[in-house]
Amino acid sequence: MSPSMVKAIETKEDDNLGSQYQKGVKHLCENGINKVPKKYILPLSDRPNMNDGELNNVQKQNLKLPIIDFAELHGSNRPQVLKSLANACEQYGFFQLVNHGIPSDVISSMIDVSTRFFELPFEERAKYMSSDMHSPVRYGTSFNQSKDEVFCWRDFLKLMCNPISDVVPHWPSSPVDFRRLVAIYAKETKYLFLMIMVAILESLGLVGTTENKTEEDDNIIKEFQDGSQLMVVNCYPPCPEPNLTLGMPPHSDYGFLTLLLQDEVEGLQIQYQDKWITVQPIANSFVVNVGDHLEIFSNGKYKSVLHRVSVNSMKSRISVASLHSLPFKRMVRPSPKLINEENPRHYKDTDFSTFLEYISSCDPKKKNFLESRKIS
């Protein structure tokens, strides 16, 4: 067979697959593939195996994320835990949260019902496909399927979570227990976020201790109580050639904090000192990371950090990211208390509509959006 004929056959195969790209990776896998389609193959410099040497070096040093024991925040050890929290947000932008108080059955039910959603027939999942970023429920694939030149190995279900009584009726009605279980999980993670956020505000010196809070402190905290919550349920199916692609490209999160629940399969990697570190899942824990809004609000003291997701050839992986911020229409700006002559203002005001406008016109990977808000 001539090279031109081979190329013609490959082109036809890619065209046939092309109509399926928009249906997601799960749909591709359900139809049987034994190699990664060209649409998902990253340039050599972006592939996850390029940094294997660096990754191994870091792992040999046993470098682990800081572990914050949430239960100790409520005891006599609170001042020390606040220092550890501040250090984690400054040096890593990430920490593992244990003893957080959310019942283990709520966590296991969330993973289970998420798994069952992605096991539904494609036609059932496809009911929720939408390009409207304001939609209360949105099923899709890749990172930004309307902008990505190379797709990533992920399908997602995005759920607006506030006000929860208004949005739940729009959520998937199948599996039959989906709405009930996810609503319980959303309420639990919202409360946990508020408790962590109070500790972070205290660690920044922006509110007083529990015994010494002022009316102004209460007003700051109330804004977060009324804030936004977006839940992203991710499915990363097994990949026949995992060294050629990523589940998600390097990016930072836009909000204040993200609470990430992982199943037992590894995949999350964070960038630390220019090296990619795989985060080892800890059962019944959360990986919490600083978002762009918290970096802006802290005037650069706490850092949002690049992270990505690798995939594997053996197991499907489920994760649930709960992203929290101020109300969508509320402007986020550096706290005036953190601006002075030695540390002038470093960021412009921003809000959710500014973020949506940006990602609708640009490639939203890495920390591009945050860089666009910096005052040079």
Average pLDDT by stretches of 10, the chain with 376 residues: 45 49 84 89 84 44 77 92 97 96 97 98 93 87 77 95 95 97 98 96 88 77 91 97 94 94 94 89 95 96 95 96 92 94 93 75 69 86
**Beta 228-236 vs 155-160: how paired, if at all?**
antiparallel
Q: What is the pLDDT of residue 180?
A: 98
* Structure tokens that stand for 141 in this block: 């694939």
Say how far apart CA 93 and CA 288 lie, in whole Å.
8
Say how far apart CA 25 and CA 32 lie, in whole Å.
11
Q: What is the pLDDT of residue 11?
A: 46
* Structure tokens that stand for 273 in this block: 């000192």
Say how far apart CA 222 and CA 226 lie, in whole Å.
6
Q: Are 301 and 90 in contact (CB under 8 A)?
A: yes
Strand, helix or coil for residue 280:
coil
Say how far apart CA 236 and CA 241 lie, in whole Å.
13
CATH topology of domain 7-372: Jelly Rolls (2.60.120)
Q: What is the pLDDT of residue 246?
A: 96
Q: What is the pLDDT of residue 156?
A: 96
Least Cα distance to 277 among 310, 319, 235, 304 occurs for 310
Q: What is the pTM of this model?
A: 0.89
Say how far apart CA 187 and CA 174 lie, in whole Å.
20
Q: What is the pLDDT of residue 365?
A: 59
* Structure tokens that stand for 62 in this block: 């046993």
Say how far apart CA 185 and CA 275 lie, in whole Å.
33
Q: What is the pLDDT of residue 52?
A: 45
Q: Are 171 and 233 in contact (CB under 8 A)?
A: no
Residue where the block lists tokens 């666009």: 372
Distances (CA, A) of 206 to 79, 94, 124, 283: 15, 21, 47, 33
Say how far apart CA 325 and CA 32 lie, in whole Å.
40
Q: What is the pLDDT of residue 324?
A: 96
Please give the single-letter amino acid code of residue 16: N
Q: What is the pLDDT of residue 9?
A: 41
The order of strands in the sheet holding 94-98 is 67-69, 94-98, 286-290, 257-262, 317-325, 228-236, 155-160, 137-141
